[in-house]
Amino acid sequence: MYFAALLARTEDGWEASDTELDDVETLSDLTDLAREASVDEDTVLVFIEQEDAWFGVIRVDGEEDPRIYISDASAAARSSYGEILLTDELLGREPEAEDSIAALEELVGLDGTEDGEPDHTTDNNNDTDLDDNDDDDDGLDADAVPTGPLGDTGVLADLGLPEKELLMLRTDALVEIADALGAAEVLETVR
């Protein structure tokens, strides 16, 4: 079960609204949704939580790039909403690098053999299995998502929740975050 909410900072404090993520397919969509909730380009926080698995905080300040914190990246990777947050940049990958490599290999017809060298995939020996496993391992390393927290641990530090405390949060994290921000009551209205 998911819960998603927006907290927008205003002159009078925080305003909360629950939000539907059905139409959100990318981080850009989510950022636009947050900016629409912004008053005078003030800070907007988007909370996403999958019960007992992971939570994410996305902070949007005006036109700046969003800042993202995810409590457990590997759990988020198994979630459609988590995948939105796990950008190549956040994971430290070159954007679309795998797609570019695959396209280049297809373009030049590389099959891993030199001219005149036998193609091991047609041999009936055990080397084929080893070669296939090597290729699979390479793919897993490139796609590996770290277990545990990922992103900007200081995303809420200036709002009252230090990095150390954010890293210790597990269950009911959004309630604790809202409490630290002085927004517990407004968040409870949309929960």
Tell me the per-residue pLDDT of 116-170, one tens digit each, with 9 for 90 and over. Answer: 555 554 445 554 444 444 444 433 344 578 889 999 999 999 999 999 999 999 8
The pLDDT of residue 140 is: 37
What distance in Å separates the CA atoms of residue 75 and residue 21, rounded to the nearest whole number?
Answer: 18
Q: Are strands 54-61 and 67-70 parallel, antiparallel or unpaired?
A: antiparallel
- Residue segments in the chain with a per-residue pLDDT below the cut of 50: 114, 121-123, 127-142
The pLDDT of residue 35 is: 92
pTM as predicted: 0.74
**Dihedrals φ, ψ of 75, to 5°?**
-70, -40
The pLDDT of residue 39 is: 75
The pLDDT of residue 145 is: 86
* Beta sheet of 67-70, edge-to-edge order: 13-18, 2-10, 43-50, 54-61, 67-70, 150-151
What distance in Å separates the CA atoms of residue 62 and residue 112, rounded to the nearest whole number?
Answer: 49
Q: What is the identity of the amino acid at 82?
A: G
The pLDDT of residue 122 is: 47
The pLDDT of residue 105 is: 52
